Structure 1
Amino acid sequence: MLSFGIFYWLSHFLGFLYPTYASYKALLTPGTADDSHWLTYWVVFSAMETAEAIVEQLLWIPFYYEIKCLIILWLVLPQTKGAQLVFERFIVPFLKQYASHIDPVFKTTDQVLNSQQMASAVKLSQQYGPGIAAKAMQAAQVEAQRLSAQSQTH
């Protein structure tokens, strides 16, 4: 059980924290080779995480997080070019084959994100700042308490 915890957290460090920081550093350098490396990694890692979310519902794999750590290392390390290999061999052919089915979904998403309603929502969030979520939660709690009190009196 101790192994599970260690490798679970190690997989998150290797998969998210280190690549996030390395991506940040890459974006600050003038060249684009490291940008390309990390962007490719994120595409592959995202696909892997999506597949994991589906597969973990269907089967249990012994030593899963130990195996995941090794896979992530292989993907992350520039010496192995693992992310590049997976990207070129699997992701690109898959996305090219299904792009005509995927594009309409994201076109709709783009339309929503670029809509007047979304622009209004962005304007409100900028106007009221990050505290708006806390205020909304507080208002919802007050309303829930009011409704609860009201239902108890009837």
Structure 2
Amino acid sequence: MTVEELESKIIELFVKNARLGYGAAGFCALYLIFGSGAQLLCNIIGVLYPAYISIHAIESSTKEDDTKWLIYWVTFGIFTVIEFFSGVLTSVIPFYWLLKCAFLIWCMLPTGLNGSNIIYAKLVRPYFLKHHESVDKFIDDGMKKAAGVLKRD
């Protein structure tokens, strides 16, 4: 089964069971606003489905689905690092966990214009192309210094 087939089956399941889907979405939204452990629920939603679909993508024979989910994980990782260093956001922004969850769902939508693709194309890729040579040199220099330190011992 391809990743596209799996994603379409999941969408079909929610469409057929619209009441169940809306109920689950409503419950999750309320829990993300009022529940304790909202951070855990948000991170489960942002990791569990993408991880499962990523495994399917790895096992498939096509490259397109691999690229799609690699772009998601790059976006997720950057967002997680930004969130870590601006931890005050979680207490200042009302409904933070609901907004983050909505953002992550937008990033994983099964369309070409999902959040991950837009963020990657408009922000990450241009920045990477501009700075990757100097970052690569910095990493190589660091590895050489580390190797030199290890050889001395």
Q: Under a length normalisation based on structure 2, what TM-score does the superposition of the two structures give?
A: 0.64
Percent identity, aligned pairs only, is 26
Take 2:134 and 2:37, find their aligned partners in 1: how far apart are those partners? 40
* Deviation for aligned residue 1:27: 0.4
Q: 1:63 aligns with which of 82, 91, 95?
A: 95
User: Aligned in 2, Cα 1:110/1:23: closer, same or farther, shift over 3 Å?
Assistant: farther
Return the offset for 1:67: 0.3
Q: What's the counterpart of residue 24 of structure 2?
A: none
CA distance in 1, matches of 2:50, 2:143: 27
**Residue 71 and residue 107 in structure 1: after superposition, are their counterparts in 2 closer, same or farther (change >3 A)?**
same
Are positions 1:84 and 2:117 aligned together? yes
Residue 41 (structure 1) aligned with residue 68 (structure 2): no
CA RMSD of the aligned region, Å?
Answer: 2.9
Question: Following the alignment from structure 2 to structure 1, what is the Cα–Cα distance between the partners of residues 146 and 61?
Answer: 31
Deviation at 1:99, TM superposition (A): 2.2
* CA shift for structure 1 position 84: 0.8
Aligned to 1:16: 47
Q: 1:46-76 CA distances to partner (integer Å, 9 max, x unpaired)?
A: 1111111112247722211110000000001
The alpha-carbon deviation at position 104 of structure 1 amounts to 2.5
Count of residues in Structure 1 that have an aligned counterpart in Structure 2: 118
Answer whether contact 1:44 1:86 (CA < 8 A) is retained. yes
- Larger Cα-atom Rg: 1
Whether contact under 8 Å (1:37, 1:78) holds in the other structure is no
Cross-structure match for 1:93:
126
Aligned to 1:127: none
Which segments of 5 or more consecutive residues in structure 1 lack a partner in the other structure? 118-154
- The Cα shift of 1:111 comes to 4.8
Equivalent position to 2:105, from 73, 77, 82: 73
Deviations along 1:109-146, whole A, 9 cap, x unmatched?
5557988x5xxxxxxxxxxxxxxxxxxxxxxxxxxxxx
Matched, 1:103 2:103: no
* Cα distance in 2 for residues equivalent to 1:65 and 1:34: 28
Q: List gaps (5 residues or longer) in structure 2.
A: 1-31
For 2:95, the aligned partner's letter is F
Give the aligned partner of residue 134 of structure 1.
Answer: none
Task: State the SS of the aligned residue for 1:5.
Answer: coil
Counterpart contact for 2:33–2:95, Cα < 8 Å: no
Aligned partners of 1:102 and 1:17: how far apart in 2?
31
Q: Quote the Cα distance in structure 2 between the aligned partners of 1:86 and 1:112.
A: 34
Letter in 2 for 1:33: E
